[in-house]
Amino acid sequence: MDRIEDLVRFVREHEADNLDRLLLSASRYPGIDVPFAVDQIKARRQVKEKLPAWYQNDRLVFPAKIAAEQCSSELTALYKQRLVGSDTCLCDLTGGLGIDSYFFSQKVRQVIYVERFPRYCEVAAHNFGVLGAGNIQVVNDDAGRFVDRALGVDVFYIDPARRGEGNRRVFALADCEPDLPRLLPSLLAKAPMIIAKLSPMADIQRTLEWLPGTVSVHVLSVRNECKELLFVIGRERGINDPRIVCVNFRVDGSEESFSFSLGEEREAVVRMRERVLGYLYEPNASLMKAGAFKVVGVRWGLDKLHVNSHLYTADDRLPDFPGRVFKVAEVIPFNHKRVKTLAREIPRANITVRNFPLSVSDLRKRTKITEGGDIYLFATTLANEEKVLIRCEKV
């Protein structure tokens, strides 16, 4: 890219500046595309946490701030390496910023990066060169057209764009671009395996209807926030109970993992309990997204507090549970008299609402309890329909 050294120097010198003021003073910097440089600073701020290695390398360029917003994180990109073999030619049909292409290239034999926007291709080629990724071929083409002439591809990777007209967010697969269900037969005619990255807002059951041949679904969360759904699709038909793999990357870098099938969930019979025991269990975001509402209780020997609450209880502390665990201190009946004086006992607390008639903000207004501290309050409904506040501490 032209004058990359000047751009790198400018971004480094102004990365902490007020960006609105920097844009207004653009005339002071002849020879620098200040709007583009400001986009670089915005993008670098965006990726500081989710792409630390890329953030540290100031010679990498970002084609647009939105590319940094939508790209995979380092953790999820590394996870995808587990889904492919080393002797693989992988084609990334929606190359974008190139994060997934780059991390796949660290595992597979060859990557073909396909992107319809020339500017993205130019930036990707530059970045791959900076990173020393010599096994990535950059192709400026439309995904649908390229598939027709693709040869020797073992795996197609696709991340359909999730923004519609007017830059509005869309989540239904049929509204995304490229149209994966329409493209699916052509992809499977060329390669035996497809990996599709979809919005964490997508409905898993509905999507399985659109993507026959799905072998497994991977629900990825980072710090208990669901980030990606990965659908692994093969040529075999008649697969009606794919494996659901739930993964959460904790703050400390460790990993929670839980897998099940939708058939197991349908057949599971979890015990219900009207009384809260010594410990409270809250499954992580990946399990909640995947709908593991009964099987997690059966697998861990937990009792469920209510069919719609998705909170569980036990007398014992179970290690390695995929979610948060709390030591119960008190179960408080939710009534007007007790709520009115509760802030005297608990002036600050972290409040969670599950299957409860009030929102967190409404409950704070009613109780006058402020945010923070080491106390956790779960407002929920028990199996006997009693409304309670469960006071506990995180363990």
Instruction: Write down the pLDDT at residue 163.
Output: 57
Based on its alpha-carbon atoms, the radius of gyration of the chain, rounded to whole angstroms, reads 25
The full DSSP string for 143-182 is HHHHHHH--S-SEEEE--B-B-GGG-B--SGGGSBS-HHH
Ramachandran angles phi, psi of 60, nearest 5°: -80, 145
Confidence of residue 169 (pLDDT cuts 50, 70, 90): low
d(CA 379, CA 331): 10
Rounded mean pLDDT of 151-179?
77
Chain center to CA of 311: 22
Instruction: Write down the pLDDT at residue 2.
Output: 52
Rounded mean pLDDT of 243-265?
95
The DSSP symbol for 9 reads H
In percent, the amount of the chain with pLDDT more than 70 equals: 96
pLDDT tens per residue, range 176-233:
888 999 999 999 999 999 999 999 999 999 999 999 999 999 999 999 999 999 999 9
